Amino acid sequence: MAILSVLLLAIWIGLGGGISPTSPQQDQVVIGSAFVLPAGSQMAGDVVVIQGEVRIEADAHLDGDLVVLGGPAIIDGVVEGDVIALSPQVRLGASARVRGDLVTLPGALERAPGAVVEGRQVTITTPRIVSGLRGFLPGAAPEGLLAWADRAFRMLLGGLGLILLALVVTFFFPGPVARSARTLELAPAISLGIGALILLLSVVVILILALTIIGIPLALLFLGLLSGAVLFGLISMGHLVSLRLGPSLSPGWPSGVALIIGMAMIWSLWSLADLLPLCGGPVIRLLLVAMALGSTFLSRFGTRPYPPPSARPAGSGPEGTPPVHEPSREAPSTST
C-alpha cells in the first residue's frame, strides 16, 4: 500500500525533478533523474523511479520494493522486496539477490550467472495488436530497403485486418456503430475532450494495477477493454467517412465499398503519421484515439444516442449538415 501511495503522489504532483525523503526510513520517488544506492550502503523504504536510471551497486541493501518505469535498472546488490521494472533494460549482476518477485517486460532481462531471484519471475506479455503496431512507433522502424518492405507488408496486413473487423462489426451491430458515428458527427469536441481525460486516467489506473502481482491480470483486462473501445470508435469513424463518401460513389457499387474506403483512409492516416515533421505523428494518433474513445464512452458503445434527441434540433446536424441516419434492420451489404 505504501508503494501505491507514493506513485499516486508522484503522478498527482507531476513535477520534473525528484521527491527526496527527509529520512532514510521513508519511501522515495524520483522523476526524471537517476537513483543510485552506493556500494555498502543500506536504505529502508520503497523506491519508485520514473524515467530515470536505477543502480543498486554491489553490497548495497534496499529493504523495500523497487519500481522502475521507463529507465534502465542495474542491480548488483540486494533488494528485500519485489522488483517491478517496466523498462527496456533490466540487468542483474552476479552478486544480485531479489528476495521477492521480479516483474519485467519481454526481452528486457539480462541475468548473469549467480544472480538469485527467490520469488516468482514474471514477464508481462504485450497484446499482439500492440506488437503489430510497434514498428510504426517513432524511432522503432529499422533501416534498409528490406525493413521498409517489412513495414509496408505489416501495414497492409494491419489495414486488411481492421477493414475485415469493421465489416463484421458493422454487419452485426449496425445500430450501435451508427449511434457512435452520430456522436462523432454532432459532438466532435466533446468526444475529443472526454477521450483525452479517459486516456489520462487510464494510464494512472494501469500503472497502479501493474504494481502488484494480483493487479497485473486486472491491468491486462482493463487494457483489453480500453483497446476494444478504441477499435469500436475507429470503426465508427470509418463508418462516418463512408457515409460522406457514399453519394460520390457510383450508384451500382455496394455500400460496403464505402466502408472499406473509409477504414482504409483512417488506417492510412494512422500508419503514415510518422511522415509528419516533429511530433506530428504521435499527435495525430492521440487525436484519433481520444476521439474514438470519447465517442464510444459518450454513446456507451452505441447503446444510447448522444447528444440526447431533446438536446439538439430535430432533423439537423451541426451547422445545418444532415445527421447520420441509424439503420434499423438492414446492414450495409458487402457483396457485389
**H, E, C per residue of 124-191:** CCCCHHHHHHHHHCCCCCCCCHHHHHHHHHHHHHHHHHHHHHHHHHHHHCHHHHHHHHHHHHHCHHHH
pLDDT tens across 26-59, in order?
A: 678 787 788 999 998 999 888 888 778 999 999 9
Residue 162 confidence (pLDDT) = 85
Q: Is 239 exposed, middle or buried (0-12, 13-18, 19+ CB in 10 A)?
A: buried
In a domain, 331, yes or no: no
- The reply to whether 171 and 313 lie within a common domain is yes
Do 211 and 313 belong together in one domain?
yes
Confidence band for 78, pLDDT divided at 50, 70 and 90: very high
Report the pLDDT value the prediction gives residue 197, as an integer from 0 to 100. Answer: 92
Same domain, 256 and 179: yes
Instruction: Choose between 206 and 38: higher pLDDT.
Output: 38
Q: Does 144 share its domain with 164?
A: yes
**Residue 62 is assigned to a structural domain of this protein:** yes
Task: Show the cell assigned to 55.
Answer: 543502480
What is the model's pLDDT at position 278? 63
Lowest model confidence (mean pLDDT) among 6-15, 52-61, 68-77, 322-331: 6-15
Do the domain assignments include residue 329?
Answer: no
Helices (H), the chain: 2-13, 128-133, 145-172, 174-186, 188-210, 215-245, 255-271, 280-298
Could you tell me if 232 and 279 lie in one domain? Answer: yes
Residues 6+ apart with CB under 8 A from 130: none
Read off the C-alpha cell for 38.
Answer: 552506493
Residue 149 in any domain: the answer is: yes
Mean pLDDT of the chain: 75
For 273-286, what is the mean pLDDT?
Answer: 73
Range of the structural domain that residue 200 is part of:
129-320
> Residue 306 — very low, low, confident or very high, per pLDDT cuts 50/70/90?
confident
254 domain residue, yes or no? yes
Residue 22 has pLDDT above 60, yes or no: no
Angle at CA of residue 297, ends 294 and 300, nearest 5°: 145
Tell me which range, 16-20, 22-26, 37-41, 211-215, is most confidently predicted by mean pLDDT: 37-41
Residue 199 shares a structural domain with residue 228: yes
Contacts of 23 (CB under 8 A, 6+ apart): none
- Give the least confident one: 141-150, 216-225, 266-275: 141-150
Looking at residue 256, its pLDDT comes to: 77
In a domain, 309, yes or no: yes
User: Pick the residue with more confidence: 76 or 20?
Assistant: 76
pTM of structure: 0.51
How many separate domains does the chain show?
Answer: 2
In a domain, 325, yes or no: no
CA distance to 43, 123, 242, per residue, from 96 (Å): 16, 19, 58
Q: Is 233 exposed, middle or buried (0-12, 13-18, 19+ CB in 10 A)?
A: buried
pLDDT for the residue 153: 73
Q: Based on the domain organization, do 144 and 72 belong to the same domain? A: no
Neighbours of 7 (CB within 10 A): 22
Q: Looking at the structure, do residues 160 and 277 belong to the same domain, yes or no?
A: yes
